Structure 1
């Protein structure tokens, strides 16, 4: 037995087990079982967030004070919209005080205050496409992009770091001085080249594993703050 959300409610719930169906693989059954028993999934449903990932960004913001009303934020790999919801709420985009520009390969149900487009960030024209939507430079670039897992740890690590590098290149082009960058990586740390680049371009670089990240997951986030303006 376990508490439903760790919020001290005292309510206890029995763990839900899922039987393996004919058309569902064992791995899919385990994933479904984990979803049904995940306190953050249940909390997201109660509180109206698109995904448990919303709580990861909330924790990073609470620890590092990333968002402020009126900021312009770019959300890469936005679907299903959990991070966009958090960012829009905290910059007050729906109230006209900030701006969120979001892209993803997949469709996303509209989020109030978020300018979303179906767009592959790997497309050569993606950076210019996003810049055209922004009313100036960005205060933050947040990326929860992840390639489909292959099951081979080294390959998955390289693929996700490649996406983080692509996002970091874009952030260096669009961020205003003092801006921040958040991207998903995997445990084992960020590749040396990317980490060196971030340390050159930002005042502070750190790795974070929010509580909402599953304990058995290799997921990690790199957070860079205090973007330094480029010098000629």
Structure 2
């Protein structure tokens, strides 16, 4: 029977335009609305496989782009990738050896969903907290952060935690998000250290 979502218009468009997944349009929309990436920004992308956000990032900056994922990421020209866990201190050291400081940290990662709403919500919030912690270790002052999350009972706490580290924090539901999904993005600008 295949995917529960099937091949909708956005999926087909992504394949026709050469993107590795529909997620590319989510980043393009976030960028259009919030301008979180500037042409000279070093970017670290957490949970970057299969690489559609890396494809977009490469077109938005002339600086370094580093993608991290537990799974291998097929090569992309002008993009450096690290296969590993964002919680591993060695991965953090690898990132710091590639770029002195990051201007932008992005995370479109999600755990494999079990179908149990409260369990999945807790797992995504834990992943979001790990991404925020990583961002706080590599971002320069004034840097930007965006992370995919899911609406639920634990979300307000994550949102409040993010507000402690950034001057501007907003949420965004992209048009490319599948109907019925509780997915949304936290877009945080101007890291305050």
SS at 2:164 equivalent: helix
The 1-side partners of 2:40 and 2:84 are apart by: 25
1:112 aligned residue: 77
CA drift at 1:201:
1.2
**Structure 1 residues 55, 119: closer, same or farther in 2, change over 3 A?**
same
Structure 2: unaligned runs, 5 residues or longer: none
Look up the SS of the partner of 1:151 in the other structure: coil
TM-score (norm. length: structure 1): 0.79
Structure 1 stretches of 5 or more lacking a match?
A: 1-19, 21-28, 92-96
Decide which of 92, 101, 104 is 1:137's aligned counterpart: 101
TM-score normalized by the length of structure 2: 0.94
Q: Relative to 1, partners in 2 of residues 1:30 and 1:196: Cα closer, same or farther, differing over 3 Å? A: closer
Larger Rg computed on CA atoms: 1
User: What residue is the counterpart of 1:57 in the other structure?
Assistant: 27
The corresponding residue for 1:224 is 188
Alignment check: 8 A CA contact 1:190 1:222 kept: no
Secondary structure of the structure 2 residue equivalent to 1:125: helix
Deviation at 1:227, TM superposition (A): 1.1
- RMSD between superposed Cα atoms in Å: 1.5
| Helix, strand or coil at the partner of 1:145 | coil
Q: Tell me by how many angstroms 1:193 deviates.
A: 3.7
- 1:1-232 matches, within 5 Å, as 20=1, 29-31=2-4, 34-36=5-7, 38-91=8-61, 97-134=62-99, 136-188=100-152, 191-228=155-192, 230=193
**Separation of aligned partners in 2, 1:115 and 1:42:** 27
Distance 1:171 1:189 in 2: 23
Q: How many residues align?
A: 193
Match of 1:17 in 2: none
